[in-house]
Amino acid sequence: MEEVLKSINDDAIRTTIGDDYELLICKTCGTQYPIKSPNELEPKNVCQPCLDPRQYVPESGQQWSKASDWLLPSSQLRCELVPEKNDARLFRIIAKNTNVGIGETPFVILTKDGIVLWDCCALYTVDMFESIKQLSKDNQLPIVGIAISHPHFYTSSLTWAKALQTKIFISHLDKEWFQRAHEGLAKELVVFFDSETYQLLPGITIVRCGGHFDGSCVLHWDRQKAGTPAKILQSASQDQLPSTGAVFCSDTFGPGMDRKTITFMWSYPNMIPLPPKDVLRIWHSMQPFQFDEIIGAWPGKYVQGDARAHLLKSAKLFVKMEGYDTSEFDWKEKD
């Protein structure tokens, strides 16, 4: 590990990894704890998110990892910034050669005013942090923050925030699930917002929908208001700069395999659906926003074209298939 630390030129990244590389991480869900041994947990050797009915402890039992397992030179882990082919302002962080965590892919979004990361994962590498910082430097843009949808994606976010010298934005309704909330640095770097929407930048808005968790959020991207960094404007073609709105949905709602049907689940792995009142709340939360695209947390999970209409249609179908008369619910647009 000393070899890894000595090779890092960036002081912030080196200090972060030096402090955090031995912290305990649940191998199943990716939750990072401010301790080094599972025996320090109460109850011992138990990951709280995995005990919750929305998640699970695998049949093989509770297993743990640490960043030191994958930061060594011999590790095969790669965390790559992969550009999205349909938008030159959007990158997906994909971890390869790993069996840690749920497999979600965080996003890096570039606007004319700054860079925002949407969601997080347990895994990280020096190269990943350096690549994000290089994007910031090349485009002369600040890294404004890491906005996170729900507790299953809190993971190693405090480590990421320290390394990137930025803040984390999370709904206050889910604060109890943030395992490092009581650390001094967390009190400086984590913003537990208490509003229904939170604007990070012009055109970049966190929207609390609830459902999966009380504080479950999506991110709305108004591409026109958010604008495009000057460097990307000079190099990208027009078909790489769509102007329609997009929503990053995470697990608040989920695109189906047909890329037009959307589901609403309290637990995805245990297949427990949301009740109609929560589905309706999600729709009402999204009504003020225009969007033509829904982008999921895994590659291939998306709705492209008429996404807002598909969300409403899917919400009605979901409630109907739960045995309710959809006419009993108020689906009308709110003023």
pLDDT at 3: 67
Model confidence at 158: pLDDT above 70:
yes
In a domain, 335, yes or no: no
In a domain, 320, yes or no: yes
Q: Which phi and psi (to 5°) does residue 259 adopt?
A: 65, 25
pLDDT band at 6 (very low <50, low <70, confident <90, very high): confident
pLDDT band at 14 (very low <50, low <70, confident <90, very high): confident
In a domain, 76, yes or no: yes
In a domain, 315, yes or no: yes
Are 8 and 14 spatial neighbours (Cβ–Cβ below 8 Å)? yes
Model confidence at 240: pLDDT above 80:
yes
In a domain, 324, yes or no: yes
In a domain, 333, yes or no: no
Considering the chain, what is the average pLDDT of its residues? 95
Burial readout 153-172 (b: 16 or more C-beta within 10 A, e: otherwise): bbbbbbbbbbbbebbbbbbe
Considering its fold, how many domains does the chain have in total? 1
Q: Give the strand pairing for 204-208 and 246-248.
A: unpaired
In a domain, 194, yes or no: yes
DSSP character for 181? Answer: T
In a domain, 334, yes or no: no
Give the CATH number of the domain where residue 141 resides.
3.60.15.10
Which position has the higher pLDDT, 273 or 43? 273
In percent, how much of the chain has pLDDT > 70?
Answer: 98
pLDDT at 211: 98
Average the pLDDT over 22-27 and give the result.
97
pLDDT at 335: 59
Containing domain of residue 83, as a range?
2-328
Model confidence at 18: pLDDT above 90:
no
Average the pLDDT over 129-156 and give the result.
98
